[in-house]
Structure 1
Amino acid sequence: MAHAEAQQHPIGIYLWVWFLLFVLSLFSYLVDYVGLEGYLKWTLITAFMLMKAGLIMAVFMHMVWERLAIICVVLVPPGVLVFFMGLMALESRYTLLARLEFFFH
């Protein structure tokens, strides 16, 4: 029988990711602390959140070292859902404006 060895990754990679997660969390809290408001605040917080999620998926879920097929199976469906959510957000504004015009004019 063939002897299979588990692949070991250097601890430095994990330490750097922990450090980056800490820095991104710090930036996310600073957005609130500085007092930014509106779309800028929520865009920055969402961007930092997605960066942290990407780091966690890439390193701690070992997606960096997986085949492209597995990566596509994990990432494409949420990407399609986010795309459809964006379409629904655009459509909701149109629907709201149409209803306001119809009911109040």
Structure 2
Amino acid sequence: MAHATTLSVGERTHEEGQQHPIRLYLVVWGWLFILSTGSYLVDYFGLHGYLRWSLILLFMILKAGLIVAVFMHMAWERLALVYAILVPPLVVLVFVAIMMLESDYTLLTRLVFFGGAS
């Protein structure tokens, strides 16, 4: 026990586990509720097209960001760990976007080569 008395207050807190105020979690739950309500209202008001999907994706990304940052404690992790977790999905999204752009060109090439349905 002599070792515990030589530790500073910050080191003892880190050793026992980091505690966050309950107010932080209540605020995040409130924001999650507000964002979920917004997502529901997109369907309730019958929005269509790009506006609908843009709003749904925006609400989804904001909710996922809050959950990852606070409940998974990413906001308090080292930057290297954050990059290790967040960069690979972003790279996959870039590759998906490239494939979507390439698919139009591939379809056009096939229509020209095979004569299309004209």
**TM-score (structure 1 length as normaliser):** 0.91
- Higher-Rg structure is 2
- Matched AA of 2:97: G
Equivalent residue, structure 1, for 2:111: 100
1:16 paired residue among 27, 37, 40: 27
Structure 1 pair 70/94, CA: closer, same or farther in 2 (3 Å)? same
2:93 paired residue among 61, 72, 82: 82
Cα deviation, residue 6, structure 1: 1.3
Question: What does 1:20-31 correspond to in 2, within 5 Å?
Answer: 20-31=31-42
| Residues 21-51 of structure 1 deviation map (CA, whole Å, 9 limit, x = unaligned) | 0100111111111111111111110111011
Q: Identity over aligned residues, as a percent? A: 61
- Matched AA of 1:31: V
**Corresponding residue SS for 1:13:** helix
Name segments (4+ residues, structure 1) moved above 6 Å. none
- Matched AA of 1:97: L
Aligned residues: 105
Equivalent residue, structure 1, for 2:8: none
Task: Give the alignment's Cα RMSD to 1 decimal.
Answer: 1.5
Equivalent residue, structure 1, for 2:9: none
Cα deviation, residue 97, structure 1: 3.1
